[in-house]
Amino acid sequence: MGPIGVDVVSAGKERTEARLLVRPDLCNRVNRLHGGAAMALADALGAMGASNLPAGVAGTTTLESKTNFIGAARGGETVLANSTPLRIGKRTPIWQPRIISGAGKTVALVTQTQMVL
């Protein structure tokens, strides 16, 4: 999906999951997943989950996204990501994406508020 190459595993109302190969163009100068690429992955997952809306609702947009960078993912490995809702509201659902390295360690934890359009 999209230019960074997110491989969506599942997207539902209670959980979204995806994988991403940490390619050289997604790495920083020390061959680790760039923070912007991690945030793009997290934003995609949160938006997918929040977009599981009733028929006739236009969609969502991100109002706020806060990222805690906890660890690193090396170039060449595949990171796993999942997102679960903290709140499924009528106007402002809040999702929490987590990115996990191939070694099973947390790379980033994100809290994201979406707005239903």
| Max intra-chain CA distance, the chain | 46
Determine the pLDDT at residue 50: 82
Please give the average per-residue pLDDT across 26-37, as a whole number: 97
**Alpha helices in 5-96, H assignment, sequence order:** 35-50
**What are the extents of the domains in the chain?**
7-116
Question: Could you tell me the two tokens for 96?
Answer: 């929490």
CATH of domain 7-116: 3.10.129.10
Give the pLDDT band (50/70/90) at residue 116. confident
Give Cβ neighbours of residue 56 (< 8 Å, ≥ 6 apart).
none
pLDDT digits (tens, 9 = 90+) for 32-55: 999 999 999 999 998 888 887 666
Residue 57 has pLDDT above 80, yes or no: no
Pick 32 or 59 by higher pLDDT: 32
- Please answer whether residues 114 and 46 qualify as being in contact, where contact means their C-beta atoms are separated by less than 8 angstroms: yes
